[in-house]
Amino acid sequence: MDTRTQALVSQVVGRGPSGNSWGLFKLEKNSPIRSLIEVMDRGFDGGGNMRFGLPIRVIPPIRRGGGIKSWNRILAYMVYRVSKWMGIYGKRWLCETINSVIKRKFSDSILFFSP
């Protein structure tokens, strides 16, 4: 979702209950808009989703074993803290609201038909 215009720009449909991180690359590929910053929750931590470059991915790293030890995770944590301080990470609630509206309107099982 583009948080400026609140328009949905891409979607990935999957089957059954699962996490969200598997569809990240598909979402980026299908999106007609190339973003500068992507804001995600902790569910996207791991699986190669943390990378540094454009678009900048803001993902708060999960503390495994009590601390963040590797340099890429320390850098990811610093990006998260700066984006939270700037108010960028706070925009994530817009996306969560859209998800909840879609679920409320169409229930848990959504069928998409294409012409």
Print pLDDT tens along the chain (115 aa): 787 787 777 777 777 777 667 777 777 777 777 778 888 877 777 767 777 777 888 888 888 777 888 888 888 889 889 988 988 887 777 877 877 787 788 766 555 554 4
Q: What's the 3-state SS for 75-104?
A: HHHHHHHHHHHHCCHHHHHHHHHHHHHHHH
Residue 111: per-residue pLDDT? 54
Residue 114: per-residue pLDDT? 47
The domain spans of the chain are: 21-106
How many Å apart are CA 17 and CA 102, to the nearest integer?
16
The pTM of this model reads 0.64
How many Å apart are CA 114 and CA 7, to the nearest integer?
19
CB 61 within 8 A of CB 73: yes
